[in-house]
Structure 1
């Protein structure tokens, strides 16, 4: 039985989150939680919250053994940009795209 947790429009670049997401893919939830707790990145704190949400979703289901869960998949997609402008020379402006992420964590029983 798959358990899914999502976080959408998180204000961090998807490439930064994917670096951390690759570390916890196919790991036991206890190992994944330990890895995320020990990393100093902003992305690890965000992924830890989503992982904790997925574990809480699993506890709501009575027929799921929480101790046998593992991280089946971590999907990190790009979200909408926040568009900001920086003034440049000769009255011009350059657009800055502040990137957002959609994070999905899928847990499954081993």
Structure 2
């Protein structure tokens, strides 16, 4: 008897409350969306932006999740979804002369990296 079973083919890594602006993280994320894992790593290593380091760590974490959960090779992984959402804003006061102050707003962001193994089929057939 044949039975089709749906398998999981996507894994993700999520970084929350990363201390940087959404706009600065998005200009890096836009460069790696839709690319293979090895190429995305190379791009992130060579780009001169500060946002590259936490995104590089998330891409490596998603690949490690894929090798553990899907038992897949790094050469067959693609970044199918990469998004940056706005997080909470840390608000502080900077003291100034004559007893005055002005606000400092430190934005944070949430980054999600979703990878897929292109050689795994979503459905496979099992013999019972």
TM-score higher than 0.5? yes
Across the aligned residues of Structure 1 and Structure 2, the Cα RMSD in angstroms comes to 1.7
Q: 2:110 aligns with which of 77, 102, 105?
A: 102
Does the 8 A contact of 2:38 with 2:74 survive in 1?
A: no
Question: Which protein is bigger by CA-based radius of gyration?
Answer: 2
Alignment of 1:30-69 (within 5 A): 30-69=38-77
Shift of 1:93: 3.4
Q: 1:24 aligns with which of 32, 38, 43?
A: 32
Report the more deviating stretch, 12-21 or 63-72. Answer: 63-72
Instruction: Figure out how many residues of one structure are paired with residues of the other and give that number.
Output: 110
Shift of 1:66: 3.2
* Structure 1 runs of 4+ with >6 Å offset: none
How far apart are the structure 2 equivalents of 1:2 and 1:22? 20
Shift of 1:14: 1.0
TM-score, scaled relative to structure 1: 0.89
| Residue 4 of structure 1 pairs with residue 12 of structure 2 | yes
TM-score, scaled relative to structure 2: 0.78
Q: Which runs of 5+ in 2 are unaligned?
A: 1-8, 119-128
How far apart are the structure 2 equivalents of 1:36 and 1:80? 25
CA offsets 1:38-97 (integer angstroms, 9 cap, x no match):
112111111000000000001112543432110001110111111012346775533221
SS in 2 for 1:81: strand
Q: Which runs of 5+ in 1 are unaligned?
A: none
Shift of 1:104: 0.4
How far apart are the structure 2 equivalents of 1:20 and 1:65? 25
